[in-house]
Amino acid sequence: MENWIVGCDVGGTFTDFSAKDVSSGRTVIHKRASTPDDPSRAVLHGLKELTERHGISPNQISRFAHGTTVATNALLQRKGARVAVVTTRGFRDLLEIGRQTRPLIYDLQVDAPPALAERHLRFEVDERIGATGQIITPLTDAAIDKLVHQIGAEKDIEAIAVCLIFSFLNNEHELRLAATLRNAFPNIFVSVSAEVQPEFREYERFSTTLINAFLQPEVSRYMERLQSEVRTVAPNAEFGIFQSSGGLMSVERAAQLPVRTALSGPAAGAVGASGAGALSSITDVITLDIGGTSTDVCLIRDGKTALANTRDISGFRIRLPMVDIHTVGAGGGSIAQIGPDGLMKVGPESAGAVPGPACYGRGGTLPTVSDANVLLGRLPKELAGGGLTIDKDRAQAAIKPIADALGVSLEKAAMGIIGIATANMTRAIRVVSVEKGYDPRRFALMPFGGAGGLHAADVARALGMKTIIVPRAPGILCAEGLIVADLQEDFVANCRAAVGSDLTFVQSIVNDLNLAAGKWFRTEAAGAEARQVILTFDMRYLGQNYELSVEVYNGAQEPTCPDTEVLRAAFFEEYLRNYGHCDKDAPIEMINVRLRALARLSQADTTVVPPSEEPLPFQHVDVWFSPQNPERTPLYNRNTMPVGTVIAGPAIITQLDTTTVVLPDASIRVDEALNLIMELSDV
């Protein structure tokens, strides 16, 4: 009997689907245009199309995993709830004071974005917890009643964020306020920092909790509507939402903590990339996920995606574990224009899915990166398996004003657009590699997304990278990452202690986290096939302002706090890896304890029947690789390339979900995993 898992990733231009039958390993993929006004429409219609085209019985879909951009878009567009903030008296301006850093240090005109809650909606309450968790000023019933009256006098409040000073050490006051507010305003969402992320650093904790409250109404409505609609197609499917940290959570948990989905889709791509690289025994990878609107890059070392505990999204600080992804506004839909200085720039403005690039014939008229690729002959006439026909005349008409303004040929203008987009993507990779002490030349570049293969060779050449690995279905890799993802939950507790002191207190905190993880396993992951827990400590040298996350246990049993020597050795190793040196005599302290719980879900090895015929080009076209002259270039269908195929460039490789450009001085081969391995020659 078939047992299908479906992954669905919503992008700016396309909504992607990947489905796998656990019983046989059969895998199928599907793409359809996104519907930005209501992403759920593309999800629902695409799911129906997937089942109909591939003969999948909807009743045999057991799991539906979803990567969503709803939270990200709401933040970018500031289209969220009208939020009230409750905080300790004297601290309502903390959200605007922040870290007192300028968004762009050399630009005196750019201001930090205004807080998501207006100042008159930030209410102060008489209470105070001290720096050791002691109650300095008790929270009285009269103070709570006054607060309820103040909030009740405001109109159209949709959510409340409760953020009190030092509540991560003692959450008694926050929980009392939350209980009262939820009872007094049953139709208003209440986010509490003790439940969202109980960590020190007040600004980051306040900001994260406010963002969560800001997103709750919009994301909750979307999740509820989507789950209801998906069940009309797949009534037996368990619904999972992908987190920014790299795992799935329930719809109910996502509605409670929508801030965890802020980088949902890109994180799924990194997980998929790690799995695809492992199939070819390539574990050191830099990803290049190019979609219609943006490019996301991530560094994967030893098969593990890099993680960050603090990220800024559209100027708003989030303090949560997230896959360390850097995003720039450079994609297939990025618009080229001439600036006031007479120079051309590309992005971050995008034509998106509607109206899209001019070459799509959907009403777009502005020149985009996709139009440049069409004019240069790098894109075939049909995309998305024939679902989208390219109009070269429209692409030429869009780029002509740029060429005329610069006084160059159409081809040279298009080459300039590609060159600027490549430079933007290259800078993004430098952020996650060079700026963090990694040499990109020691990594393989893995392009995916609809436009990844078009630009990978140019980006690799700019960085001096020699190897490119193109996964089997690069345009669907984010969706594939969703179907191989596991359930995941992160727990954190403050635990400031000197390494070398009595660790009994630390062990008690680890025990509490083990209890919380055990409860989660029983309630959220009862049907899991296996369990895994990862224990890390945030550690630093005494006197430092920032810390490193040091992993000390990874296994199936409940962890315990290691002894002092193990902690010191683990910290020195991590510090040396990050900074190239360490001081083994300096005192060390720990700040937080983190426990990640993973519930392994049923999976299956992907079964793909490789082609056996000799690959032959189905067409030859003129492709511009330099501004001088075009080269006659063969086009190959990837579905006709068996294992062991070797093709020397130039070549264009086409498939349902993407197009891969092989430069004239490069070669490409198909390995045992059906991944394409491109090798660039020295120049």
Domains, the chain, ordered by start: 4-74+220-261 (3.30.420.40), 80-216 (3.40.1360), 487-600 (3.30.1490), 619-680 (no CATH)
Q: Which residues contact 531 (CB under 8 A, 6 or more apart)?
A: 521, 525, 556, 597, 598, 599, 600
Cβ proximity of 474 and 315 under 8 Å: no
| pLDDT above 70 for 386 | no
Write out the two tokens for 243: 């987190």
The full 3-state SS of 337-385, as one line of letters, equals EECCCCCEEEEEEECCCCCCCHHHCCCCCCCEHHHHHHHCCCCCCEEHH
Residue-wise pLDDT for 568-583, tens only, equals 999 999 898 888 889 9
Mean of the pLDDT values across residues 617-627?
90
Q: For the chain, give the percent of residues with pLDDT over 90.
A: 50
Which of 319-323, 426-430, 538-542 has the weakest average pLDDT?
319-323
Supply the pLDDT for residue 11: 74
Write out the two tokens for 287: 């990803």
| pLDDT above 70 for 384 | no
Supply the pLDDT for residue 435: 85
Residue-wise pLDDT for 437-470, tens only, equals 889 999 999 999 888 999 999 999 999 999 999 9
Q: Could you tell me the pLDDT band of residue 683, with boundaries at 50, 70 and 90? A: low
Mean of the pLDDT values across residues 187-209?
93
Helix (DSSP H) and strand (DSSP E) numbers for the chain? 16, 35
Helix 202-233 crosses helix 70-77 at what angle (to 10 degrees)? 130
| pLDDT above 60 for 416 | yes
Mean of the pLDDT values across residues 328-354?
85
Supply the pLDDT for residue 424: 92
- Supply the DSSP symbol for 52: H
Q: Could you tell me the pLDDT band of residue 539, with boundaries at 50, 70 and 90? A: very high
Supply the pLDDT for residue 609: 62
* Unique residue bearing structure tokens 């049923």: 602
Q: Could you tell me the pLDDT band of residue 202, with boundaries at 50, 70 and 90? A: very high
Rounded distance, CA 47 to CA 473, Å?
18
Q: Could you tell me the pLDDT band of residue 479, with boundaries at 50, 70 and 90? A: confident
Considering only residues 419 and 107, tell me which one the structure prediction assigns the higher pLDDT: 419
Q: For the chain, give the percent of residues with pLDDT over 70.
A: 97
| pLDDT above 60 for 385 | no
| pLDDT above 90 for 91 | yes
Q: Could you tell me the pLDDT band of residue 533, with boundaries at 50, 70 and 90? A: very high
| pLDDT above 70 for 387 | no
Mean of the pLDDT values across residues 223-228?
88
Whole-angstrom Cα Rg for the chain: 26
Strand, coil or helix: what is 142? helix
Q: Could you tell me the pLDDT band of residue 607, with boundaries at 50, 70 and 90? A: low
Measured on CA atoms in the order 361, 362, 363, 364, is the torsion positive or negative? negative
Supply the pLDDT for residue 148: 94
Supply the pLDDT for residue 610: 66
| pLDDT above 70 for 604 | no
| pLDDT above 70 for 76 | yes
136 CB burial (10 A radius; 0-12, 13-18, 19+): exposed
Rounded distance, CA 242 to CA 236, Å?
19
The full 3-state SS of 86-110, as one line of letters, equals EEECCCCCHHHHCCCCCCCCCCCCC
Helix 172-184 crosses helix 141-152 at what angle (to 10 degrees)? 40
Which of 192-206, 290-304, 416-430 has the weakest average pLDDT?
290-304
Supply the pLDDT for residue 362: 83
Mean of the pLDDT values across residues 165-175?
94
Pairing of strands 122-125, 83-88: parallel
| pLDDT above 90 for 10 | no
Write out the two tokens for 49: 């199309």
Highest mean pLDDT among 111-120, 331-340, 411-420, 599-608: 411-420
Q: Which residues contact 576 (CB under 8 A, 6 or more apart)?
A: 582
**What predicted TM-score, i.e. pTM, was given to this entire model?**
0.85
Residue-wise pLDDT for 22-72, tens only, equals 888 788 888 888 887 788 888 999 999 999 999 999 899 988 999 888 888
Q: Identify the bridge partners of residue 668 per DSSP, sorted by sequence position.
A: 647, 678
Rounded distance, CA 311 to CA 296, Å?
14
Considering only residues 449 and 176, tell me which one the structure prediction assigns the higher pLDDT: 176
Cβ proximity of 486 and 13 under 8 Å: no
127: amino acid identity, one letter: E
| pLDDT above 70 for 234 | yes
Mean of the pLDDT values across residues 175-180?
95
Cβ proximity of 475 and 449 under 8 Å: yes
Q: Identify the bridge partners of residue 9 per DSSP, sorted by sequence position.
A: 16, 67
Q: How many CA atoms lie within 13 A of 630 on its CB side?
A: 16
Supply the pLDDT for residue 480: 85
Mean of the pLDDT values across residues 163-189?
94
